[in-house]
Structure 1
């Protein structure tokens, strides 16, 4: 199962670079989701990450297709209200695009519109979405059965909750505050990575 780390738009560029460098060997993908930063700041951030040796293949640019094109990053993640991934690839066939969704209906529409995967949440209660009811693992199971494209889940996922997600056919988990609000993000990334690599069936034998 893949581990996606999603930045939380809380740090200046230099500090964010340190955090990403600390975790990049433990995660499969790093989503640059920095809504308050300018295009110039984002381009600078990505260029510095690449110059520091962060693999280009691990970087995903959230929402800002312009930044992805300017920095030659091939993976973008689109919000649910964005344009069609199918239309995007007609113009830029080298781009890979996923989409955020919050219901089975949205997920089916994203698949029809050419999304290569969907990110669904929030699965568990999370401080990022105070007052909003979690959608739950049962709905995740229904979602993975209804789609032919991969599903990545986000929202309140902790290392201890990973075993139950292993049984609902998700492609990966995405973690934002669970990694980036921790005072040692590398330690948390390692905890998630270790849990994802455990074989839940070995203990049953």
Structure 2
């Protein structure tokens, strides 16, 4: 069975020392990708975050969201593009062939277009109601399943995902889940991460598409 990926995304609400303390607690458990999603920080700060966290989590791929200059400076293994970022083709012209490009999408059409443009994976959400999107209806499991079926690259689900609903999310054939506050703002992040791992390992569902 192909393994699902777990992506952890910084919240933009914590300082580096707080995230480092959590990383130390969680260093014995595997996180496939840690996304530095700190929109309020400049490239210099992001490269400092990368250096510190890369040392603490040597087995984790650390992606930088939006800021390709910072990603290039530290030779990050990947980036995550959002609505206001450079386009996927523009990013691909700048980045090394080995650097993975993820793209945040909110519909089936956007997912297919991102894949056709050269994205290595897409992140689709939000799946369930979440405090980070107050008043915005969740897109739901059915929409996620449609995106997974249509998109020719791996799909990572995000938004309101907790250990108890991981199996439902994975039943769509998506390639993994992404979480923010469910781990980083949890009173016991290490135990919560362990619960996510248990849910990912317990599932009988296989991802529809794996990573190259």
Q: TM-score, normalising length from structure 1?
A: 0.91
Between the aligned partners of 1:85 and 1:188, the Cα distance in structure 2 is 33
Query: Is the Cα contact below 8 Å between 1:154 and 1:174 reproduced in 2?
Result: yes
Indicate conservation of the 8 Å contact 1:4/1:31, yes or no. Answer: yes
SS, match of residue 43 in structure 1: helix
Structure 1 runs not aligned, ≥5 long? none
Q: Could you tell me how far 1:67 is from its partner in structure 2?
A: 1.0
Does the CA-based 8 Å contact 1:5-1:31 persist in structure 2?
A: yes
- Indicate conservation of the 8 Å contact 1:124/1:134, yes or no: yes
Please say if 1:73 is aligned against 2:76: yes
Q: Measure the CA separation in 2 of the matches of 1:121 and 1:99.
A: 12
Residue number among 11, 15, 20 corresponding to 1:8 in the alignment: 11
Distance 1:56 1:196 in 2: 18
Q: Is the 8 A contact 2:11 2:184 kept in 1?
A: yes
TM-score after normalising by structure 2: 0.88
Per the alignment, residue 17 of structure 1 pairs with 20
> For 1:56 and 1:75, how far apart are their aligned partners in 2?
14
Of residues 140, 143, 151 in structure 2, which corresponds to 1:139?
Answer: 143
Q: Aligned partners of 2:115, 2:146: CA distance in 1, in Å?
A: 15
When residues 178 and 57 of structure 1 are mapped into structure 2, their CA distance, relative to the original with a 3 A threshold, is closer
Name the structure 1 match of 2:130.
126
Q: Show structure 1 runs of 4+ deviating over 3 A.
A: none
Equivalent residue, structure 2, for 1:34: 38
Q: CA deviation at 1:17?
A: 1.5
- Residues 7, 33 of structure 2: 8 Å contact kept: yes
